[in-house]
């Protein structure tokens, strides 16, 4: 009996006249296919690992964009006010990140070619100046967010006081106009104080001709008359020494100048004087670079920003008037050199702001 079973198994395996069962037939087919085609197929018939990763990333990005689009539509439909704040905040982060990358490239180029700040182009200098002011506010927010759970309070403060705590990237278009008007109103409050000081200092001017020019110019400014360029340049000698030199100014006078330049007045006298000098020096360097570039090369937004920095509330003035005013400013600025420019900034700032009132009244 056992021998017959062995013979039957051999006959089924090697293809005898007897018909094999279905299980044996399937095993024979698998063995023959393996012998004919060899081992398992190589991975060349499949996508490469890099292609798999790229396809997976593209799929994830596509799905993320779709979900993000649905989320934006949901917010805009059900929470329109929050959606405005959300989109403004996200765009602000993108603009701040782009500014940081650009500032890094400028700094790297400066270190590589040993270039000083005043040797940069106008747009590069202005970008670094504005980025430094923006990053100072960001660092302040980061410091007050360090204590545990303080970040929740910081978000609330940013929502309640966006003008004081946020930079312009995170302002809505309406807030940009309103906040710039508020800042200009704050610096305009110091103009009468500066003019009053100039009037009191007139008797202390030793030169009779300069004393007469100063009296005439103060009278014109108080009446709202647009002072001519030669009237201003005739008084540049007054700001080189006593009593109008920067080193002779008192604390309350420097505080008034700081408010007129949108600088914090809550600093010791030594720091106030240093900051006034550095601020006016930077603007003088910007003026020189702008003369090389040419006002005609500036965009409308760049012109308005340049005028606002120099004391003109350009948010409500036409572009052509801003260009005319900026051209007059540069003509005065480039006629002053070194220390005279810094010391004469007090009077130039005041007359420039009075020019703004004349332009608006026309």
pLDDT of residue 348: 53
Q: Which residues contact 231 (CB under 8 A, 6 or more apart)?
A: 213, 216, 217, 220
- Average pLDDT in the 84-91 region? 86
Task: Specify the range with the lowest mean pLDDT, choosing from 52-61, 162-171, 277-286.
Answer: 52-61
C-alpha to C-alpha distance for 264 and 137, rounded to whole angstroms: 13
Q: What is the structure's pLDDT at 13?
A: 45
Whether 189 contacts 258, CB under 8 Å: no
- Rounded Cα–Cα distance for residues 329 and 265 (Å): 25
pLDDT-wise least confident of 71-80, 236-245, 305-314: 236-245
Whether residue 134 has pLDDT greater than 90: yes
DSSP state of 226: -
DSSP state of 145: T
Share of the chain above pLDDT 90, in %: 30
pTM of the predicted model as reported, rounded to 2 decimal places: 0.76
Q: Give, for 224, the enclosing helix (H) or strand (E).
A: none
Residues near 318 by beta carbon (within 8 Å), at least 6 away in sequence: none
Residue 87 has pLDDT above 90, yes or no: no
């Amino acid at each position: 009996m056992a021998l017959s079973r062995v013979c039957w198994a051999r006959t089924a395996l090697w293809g005898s006249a007897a018909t094999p069962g279905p299980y044996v037939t399937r095993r024979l087919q698998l063995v023959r296919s393996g012998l004919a085609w060899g081992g398992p197929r190589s991975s060349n018939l499949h996508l490469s690992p890099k292609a798999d990763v790229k396809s997976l990333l593209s799929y994830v990005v596509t799905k993320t964009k779709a979900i993000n689009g649905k989320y934006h539509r949901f917010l805009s439909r059900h929470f329109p006010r929050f959606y405005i704040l959300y989109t403004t905040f996200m765009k602000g982060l993108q603009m701040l990140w782009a500014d940081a990358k650009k500032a890094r490239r400028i700094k790297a180029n400066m270190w590589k070619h040993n270039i000083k700040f005043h040797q940069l182009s106008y747009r590069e200098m202005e970008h670094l100046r504005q980025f430094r002011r923006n990053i100072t506010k960001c660092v302040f927010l980061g410091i007050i967010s360090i204590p545990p759970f303080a970040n929740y309070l910081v978000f609330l403060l940013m929502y309640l006081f966006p003008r004081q705590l946020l930079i312009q990237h995170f302002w809505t278009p309406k807030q940009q106009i309103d906040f710039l008007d508020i800042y200009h109103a704050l610096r305009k409050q110091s103009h009468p104080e500066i003019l009053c000081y100039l009037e009191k200092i007139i008797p202390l001017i030793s030169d009779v001709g300069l004393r007469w020019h100063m009296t005439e110019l103060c009278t014109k400014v108080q009446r709202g008359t647009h002072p001519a360029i030669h009237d201003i340049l005739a008084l540049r000698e007054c700001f080189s020494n006593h009593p109008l030199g920067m080193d002779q100014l008192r604390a309350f006078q420097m505080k008034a100048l700081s408010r007129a330049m949108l600088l914090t007045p809550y600093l010791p006298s030594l720091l106030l004087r240093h900051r006034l000098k550095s601020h006016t020096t930077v603007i003088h360097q910007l003026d020189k670079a702008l003369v090389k570039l040419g006002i005609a090369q500036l965009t409308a937004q760049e012109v308005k920003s340049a005028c606002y920095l120099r004391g003109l509330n350009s948010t409500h003035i036409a572009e052509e008037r801003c260009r005319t005013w900026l051209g007059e400013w540069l003509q005065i600025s480039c006629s002053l050199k070194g220390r005279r420019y810094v010391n004469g900034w007090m009077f130039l700032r005041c007359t420039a702001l009075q020019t703004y009132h004349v332009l608006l009244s026309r």
